[in-house]
């Protein structure tokens, strides 16, 4: 009986451990915590594009915006600062989702919300968290333009 209880305890421990957040995601949340500036937005192909990011504002409005990430409750706030745009704070919830444990690749899921972290549309955005260090972060979003793929690079600098 004692062996059975021990075996069940070990099995339960393995199940709980396998369902937890991976080390890569935990480390990423520690690094992302804090204040960032969306310093530049670039495209994978040369050209002029009329983009609305996160169903909110243009590239020009987002460049220079400030972002705060609070990973202990997966929330954040970004602020549009460009005076020629609709300025102010926007709230969001986010999740870092590991795509491949072997390569450490992960997606960043962002959902705009109100101040109480409730979404009116329940619409979110999947971005590739392509680079993350103590001082810089890059998100990539793939979009289709005239039947061909275009990658939008959003480059952040830590404050």
**Each residue of 53-68: pLDDT tens digit?**
999 999 999 999 999 9
Q: Domain 22-158 - what CATH class?
A: mainly beta
The whole-angstrom separation of Cα 93 and Cα 133 is 21
Listed by start position, the domains of the chain span 22-158
Q: What is the pTM assigned to this prediction?
A: 0.79
The whole-angstrom separation of Cα 101 and Cα 87 is 39
| Lowest mean per-residue pLDDT among 16-25, 58-67, 98-107, 116-125 | 16-25
Token look-up 């959003």 returns: 154
């Amino acid at each position: 009986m004692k062996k059975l209880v021990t075996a069940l305890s070990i099995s339960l421990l393995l199940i709980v451990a396998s369902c937890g957040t991976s080390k890569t995601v935990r480390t990423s949340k520690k690094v992302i915590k804090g204040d960032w500036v969306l310093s530049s937005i670039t495209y994978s192909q040369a050209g002029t594009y009329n983009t609305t990011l996160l169903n909110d504002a243009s590239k020009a409005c987002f460049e220079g915006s400030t972002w705060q990430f609070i990973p202990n409750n997966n929330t954040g706030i970004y602020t549009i600062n460009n005076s020629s745009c609709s300025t102010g704070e926007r709230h969001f919830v986010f999740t870092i989702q590991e795509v491949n444990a072997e390569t450490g690749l992960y997606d960043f899921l962002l959902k705009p919300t109100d101040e109480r972290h409730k979404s009116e549309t329940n619409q979110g955005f999947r971005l590739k968290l392509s680079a993350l260090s103590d001082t810089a972060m890059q998100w990539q979003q793939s979009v289709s333009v005239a039947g061909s793929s275009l990658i939008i690079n959003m480059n952040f600098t830590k404050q």
